[in-house]
Amino acid sequence: MGSKNKLKRFRENETFNNVIQPTREEVLNNFPHKGKWHSFFNNNNPIIVELGCGKGEYSIALAKKNPDKNYIGIDIKGARFWRGAKTAVEENLKNVAFVRTQIELVDLIFSEHEIDEIWITFPDPQIKYKRTKHRMTNPVFLRKYFHILNENGIVHLKTDSEFMHGYTLGLLHGEGHEVVYANHNIYHNEGSPKEVIETQTFYENQYLRIDKPITYIQFRLKY
């Protein structure tokens, strides 16, 4: 993507009422929407967060299917989620929003127990050991998720990375968390949850064309 297109998208994001782009300092110093997301959506419906949302494909698709739930996509790359934000505006989807910030700040964006579900879709597996701290299911991140999820909150991990699937599953079992469902090839299993196989990202479709297995884990955190 050229720099001109990026700048155009950044400017357009500023006009969308479903996009919030705080500075890091604003997040660190009492982010105004923290604990008040139901007021932002003007309802008390469940709140579902997509971390590393990219173009917002999952947030948009799920928001269309579930108008009685609120969806928030989080990504640091605003030029990417511009597509999702623009689609939401064009299709008058009132139950979806996007926040441009670092994912490691997620526990400062939401209050304790404010979230019902978290989706992590096709994250960078960060295979090298020195990149462990950046894996989105490492113990530090799991603690952050536990903080913002309600008592029965669910985390969904969908990935094409066998490494990420195995790493996460081992960690969950080792720390005593509840694995609700796990499958290493969801499109070759009749029992896969519909919401997992009915929504596909652009890159996921590419993986499926070459028959690359897509894995999925649904879990609850227990501390």
User: Are 64 and 86 contacting, i.e. CB atoms less than 8 angstroms apart?
Assistant: no
Cα separation of the two ends of the chain:
43
Single out the catalytic residue among 75, 124, 160, 211. Answer: 124
Listed residue (152, 126, 131) closest to 222, CA to CA: 152
Packing angle of the helix pair 57-65, 78-90 (nearest 10 deg): 20
Identify whether 160 is a catalytic site residue.
no
The catalytic residue positions are: 124
